[in-house]
Amino acid sequence: MDGHPTLQLVRESLLPLLGGLIKGTIPLTLISFAIGLVLALVVALMRLSPIGPLQAVARFFVSVIRGTPLLLQLFIIYYGLPSLGATIDPFPSAIIAFSLNVGGYGSEVVRAAILAVPRGQWEAASTVGMGYTTTLRRVVLPQAARVAVPPLSNTFISLVKDTSLASTIQVVELFRKAQEVAAPTYQFFALYGVAALYYWVVCLGLSFTQSRLETRLDRYVAV
């Protein structure tokens, strides 16, 4: 113990932990989710493709991602790939692992949302001369978005918390910063509590944004 009163230590740690949130957790979340969302759409379209090999590859990818722990995926990329001659820095390793994870879980959400669009929408678009890509972009995906927003928002919120796993490969994000500050003082309860409060506030904000987005999308649903 260094003799610092707990409250004083908490006050002194607020800015360093906030820095870990802003410089580590938030960028890691946003970049991973954006890449993962694109990957999810690609994998979902592969699952819906009439081409057998594409379906098989997509099914295998989803099976591997959903059937293995995220922490293990992170370790394979950061600690395992160097044995094959591919060394990746901690932050990019975390982005790759989280993006693949979001892509695997998100693809099933996107696929289900696309399947929820009535088949008649595809047929109606075809009768006016729209091709597959145009129909998907202008007719199907806008409708599928409303179905996909709630589960994808939950995935995004979960990703905010899952980024704490990046601390295991030396990525300096919110949880890692809390560990660094708490280590010399042994005030783990107080400082982890501050980190938990930051995570909670961020997730509350995202939940509010999700609710507003769902309300906005509901305006375009015919009654």
* Ramachandran angles phi, psi of 171, nearest 5°: -75, 130
pLDDT tens sequence across 7-26: 888 898 999 999 999 999 99
Cα separations in angstroms, 76 against 19, 63, 97, 116: 28, 17, 9, 36
H or E segment and range at residue 196: helix 188-218
Judged by average pLDDT, the poorest of 111-125, 162-176, 208-222 is: 208-222
- Looking at every residue in the chain, the average pLDDT score rounds to 90
Token duo for residue 219: 């305006």
Q: Report d(CA 119, CA 138) in Å as an integer.
A: 15
User: In CATH, what number does 6-218 get?
Assistant: 1.10.3720.10
pTM of the predicted protein model? 0.89
pLDDT tens sequence across 57-71: 999 999 999 999 999
* Ramachandran angles phi, psi of 199, nearest 5°: -60, -45
